[in-house]
């Protein structure tokens, strides 16, 4: 090409994307418009200008969803720590209660074993009356302790099942989520609703 010559070039310009700087809990799953885009911690995502639905999910945490409207080249910061769900809070309490009832059931079992061994050690032939009283006392202690073992053992099992159900069913989802826009003079908002 010489000076003064013109040449036509076919150049496709790409719009400048907006940048979302997202900071949330480690292990959280981030999605934009229903598509997974990364995991939690701190991450920066590029999105085209326009309206987008940002969703952050993590097991044991309340889901977060927000509609964002971004322009070309805009940089938006989203700092959203997730809150613990009621199931996860209840799980820890049920787990502690199950651990305590299990420990008490174990103690009752040890008590029943010791009382049974003590009762078995008595020679009941040609016995004085106080030996028979001790034997009856040990048998009574053993029987009461075994009732405690069965009762507390059943309670421990029920609490264990309840804790497992609370823990393993605590997976939030965005199924059925929808965003409703609301506008008033001088303000605009969006409400996110659905089954979390």
Q: What is the pLDDT of residues 131-154, one digit of tens each?
A: 888 888 999 999 999 999 999 999
pTM of this structure: 0.65
22-74 per-position pLDDT tens digit: 999 998 999 998 888 888 788 899 999 999 999 999 999 988 888 999 999 89
pLDDT digit string, tens, across residues 69-115: 999 989 999 998 899 989 999 999 999 999 999 999 999 999 999 99
Residue 187's pLDDT band, with cuts at 50, 70 and 90, is very low
Domains of the chain: which residue ranges? 19-84+173-193, 86-168
Length of the chain: 196
Give the CATH number of domain 19-84+173-193.
2.60.40.1120
pLDDT at 178: 57
- Residue 60, sorted as left (phi over 0), alpha (psi -120 to 50) or beta, turns out to be left
pLDDT at position 180: 53
pLDDT band at 195 (very low <50, low <70, confident <90, very high): very low
Q: Which residue has the higher pLDDT, 154 or 123?
A: 154
Residue 127 has a pLDDT of: 74
Give the pLDDT of residue 196: 44
How many angstroms separate the CA atoms of 53 and 34, rounded?
Answer: 7
DSSP string of 25-79? Answer: EEEEEEEETTEEEEEEEEEEEEE-SEEEEEEEE-TTB--EEEEEEE-TT-EEEEE
**pLDDT, position 130:** 79
Higher pLDDT, 176 or 146: 146
Spatial contact of 30 and 55, defined as CB atoms under 8 Å apart: yes
pLDDT of residue 47: 92
Q: What is the pLDDT of residue 188?
A: 52
C-alpha 16/C-alpha 99 separation (Å) is 57
């Amino acid at each position: 090409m010489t000076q003064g010559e013109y040449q036509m070039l076919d150049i496709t310009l790409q719009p400048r994307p907006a940048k979302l700087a997202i900071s949330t809990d480690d292990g959280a799953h981030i999605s934009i418009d229903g598509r997974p885009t990364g995991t939690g911690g701190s991450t920066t995502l590029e999105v085209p200008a326009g309206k987008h639905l940002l969703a952050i999910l993590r097991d044991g945490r309340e889901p977060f969803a927000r509609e964002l409207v971004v322009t070309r080249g805009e940089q938006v910061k989203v700092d959203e720590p997730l809150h613990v769900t009621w199931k996860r809070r209840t799980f820890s309490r049920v787990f502690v209660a199950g651990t305590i009832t299990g420990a008490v059931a174990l103690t009752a079992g040890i008590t029943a074993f010791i009382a049974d061994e003590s009762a078995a050690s008595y020679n009941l032939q040609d016995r004085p009356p106080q030996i028979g009283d001790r034997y009856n006392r040990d048998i009574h202690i053993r029987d009461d302790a075994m009732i405690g073992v069965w009762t507390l053992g059943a309670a421990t099992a029920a609490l264990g099942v309840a804790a497992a159900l609370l823990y393993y069913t605590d997976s939030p989802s965005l199924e059925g989520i929808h965003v409703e826009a609301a506008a008033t003079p001088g303000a605009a908002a969006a409400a996110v609703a659905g089954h979390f």
